[in-house]
A and B are shown apart, each in its own frame.
Chain A
Amino acid sequence: DQQVKQNSPSLSVQEGRISILNCDYTNSMFDYFLWYKKYPAEGPTFLISISSIKDKNEDGRFTVFLNKSAKHLSLHIVPSQPGDSAVYFCAASADYGQNFVFGPGTRLSVLP
């Protein structure tokens, strides 16, 4: 049973608009969440994180929101740029990031 779910395999957004990527989890012990971005033929690169003591973390164009009661987090990218086109993985940890469970990823396409 998947503990971390990304129910949208793909998402297309127009350049300049907002991209919203969603992630749901089932394990209430998860208290630390990361988003990774992955280009083809490259390894994932860390994008942004949030711990369970916060409900929002912002870094430039990227904002992550955490709704603990709904076991849901989302990544907002504003404004979206063509270079943001990649696969985005949500990852969750119950031990301060020593071990992560990854979602299956969402492929974001930002159209010029």
Chain B
Amino acid sequence: EADIYQTPRYLVIGTGKKITLECSQTMGHDKMYWYQQDPGMELHLIHYSYGVNSTEKGDLSSESTVSRIRTEHFPLTLESARPSHTSQYLCASSEYSAGRFYNEQFFGPGTRLTVL
């Protein structure tokens, strides 16, 4: 059973607001990820981190930012939400093996964000 949590599960907010989506995992995983998914579409990687103080941008350009001050915590922030940010945001984590062994990613339940 994966122990990765996301809050809030659902968020409806007005344009221009600052929001932070929380993600925490208790598995001690070094690597964490944020994906964005629209209905019927593939998951797009927007941010990832190899560990504390490491953050990288993913394949899909995003106006959001992330931070990794603690191993277990990987919050995503939107400084000024817009309707185009309406989507589902999924957080995931995995062990970092540097090619020593195969890994799978464990996903949180997601946050469905609606910006009016």
Residues of chain A whose beta carbon lies under 8 Å from any beta carbon of chain B: 2, 4, 9, 32, 34, 36, 41-46, 49, 51, 89, 95-105
A89:B40 contact, CB within 8 angstroms: no
Describe A's contact surface by its main secondary structure: loop
The reply on B43 being an interface residue by CB < 8 A is: yes
Q: Which of B2, B42, B97, B106 is the one whose CB lies under 8 Å from A104?
A: B42
The range of chain B's interface size is 20 to 34
Q: Once A and B bind, how many residue pairs between them come within 8 Å at the CB atom?
A: 66
B residues near A42, Cβ cutoff 8 Å: 109-110
> In the complex, what's the smallest C-beta–C-beta distance from B31 to chain A, in angstroms?
7
Alpha-carbon separation in the docked complex, A102 to B99 (Å): 20
Q: Which residue of chain B has its CB nearest to the CB of A39?
A: B109
Residues of chain B whose beta carbon lies under 8 Å from any beta carbon of chain A: 2, 4, 6, 9, 31, 35, 40-43, 45, 48, 90-92, 94, 96-97, 99-110, 112
A97:B104 contact, CB within 8 angstroms: yes
B43:A89 contact, CB within 8 angstroms: yes
B residues near A102, Cβ cutoff 8 Å: 35, 42-43
Q: Which of A34, A36, A41, A99 is the one whose CB lies under 8 Å from B110?
A: A41
Q: Which of B97, B99, B104 is the one whose CB lies under 8 Å from A49?
A: B104
B109:A104 contact, CB within 8 angstroms: no
A-B residue pairs in contact (CB < 8 Å), sample of 7? A32-B102, A43-B90, A46-B106, A96-B99, A96-B100, A98-B99, A103-B42
A97:B103 contact, CB within 8 angstroms: yes
Beyond A97-B94, A98-B94, A99-B45, is A46–B110 a contact (Cβ under 8 Å)? no
Other A-B pairs beyond A44-B90, A97-B104, 11, CB < 8 Å: A42-B110, A43-B110, A49-B104, A89-B42, A96-B102, A97-B94, A97-B103, A98-B31, A98-B97, A101-B42, A105-B42
Which 3 pairs between the two chains have the least Cβ-Cβ distance?
A43-B107, A97-B103, A102-B43
A residues near B92, Cβ cutoff 8 Å: 43
A residues near B102, Cβ cutoff 8 Å: 32, 49, 51, 96-97
Q: Which residue of chain B has its CB nearest to the CB of A9?
A: B40
